[in-house]
Structure 1
């Protein structure tokens, strides 16, 4: 099974003229089973931005699993909308399902929303979402590969230095570990990083794959003009995460590196990394 994971499109702030078309072409020609979009479809939650995101999703051949990000709630200059119906435009244009699921070929995925009107940018995981994690993954057998999708981070990425994490991160990460989630897909930081979780001792390994901004010019300092998405391949023996970087001169994505995790190895076993 193959998952295309992209994040932080930020329609309204597209970085390169050909990057959106290149992303769609990559996903549609790549034998992808599921396309996952982990939030921030828009820059200011405007209708025209959601329409552009809606058109992109409609142009994808594989089924999609989408969750909102903090930029997909009504902005602060609409305070009543932001607090009362923060995701009304997202739900009107994209989906009203804030806990989407996908289950096939021994792989199960669940998305949760961390975007709320009362937070600024770091988001929060509600008690109901932790319950959704337990209810969805809990009854599954240990052979099922479990994927949790959200916009914000549940843990610090050790290689990135200081950055924000979502409210109730520790409790939510503990829930994910208890339910034997294998892979957490997120975005928000606008840079591609792949790391095992190291802050909670456990017999079960959890890997975090943070996708860079797929199409926008809101690049993280030090990664200017760089757009990424991840291609994840899952087999009974292992799973690999291929980071694919956009090359503006060629108007296409190219492999930047591949990280492989052995599913049968010990929780503290090291992954193997191959750079392009």
Structure 2
């Protein structure tokens, strides 16, 4: 049996970085459910369709919804875990160039607009190294070039990893009770904190308030439920603790930049092999 490190090396690092100047392309149904932590010299554009993908770096878990992409800069260690085997992914790995736009130095999740969607569709049959001087290389390079201009909205779809064990328990409690309305005062009381000390712990450990964390967590769960296509928008709102559909819709829009109904009806463009 092959050691997972060797397997990782074989599939994810050696091929991607073998030719330092090529743009490497990998497009497939996910199939396997976990790619262990690894890093590339090249930067990575990962576009997902069909379901949610969890991308975890050393400090954060990014939540990549269908029809969005994540930009992972050169050298950032990350693992990839699709929520189901039905995820289709397009990966483009780009060499780092001199004096690049600051956009390329920062991790981020972005929606894919129609222009980018059509360009991604054009790359649908590619695989392996795209060599400098070929038409496909020029097209892939154009995809990279337009990103800073069209991706102005880095979506807050990541949650920090807690370092404090007490906080880990509280976050698990939130996770398990997303269908209820969770009040900060009740959480503080339940776990033996004063409101002030719990507020400080959230800010110090996670860099965000309880309400910010709780809101993002609810919306992330809502995205998962919408992608399952089993529940109406109203039912999804209830499942994540919103009694009012307009409030849910407005909060969803604030975070994702589109209404739940629009997200539910989004188009998928990658052909399944």
Common fold: TM-score over 0.5: no
Q: Larger % of strand: which?
A: 1
Q: Larger % of helix: which?
A: 2
Higher radius of gyration, 1 or 2: 2
User: So what's the TM-score if we normalise by structure 1?
Assistant: 0.25
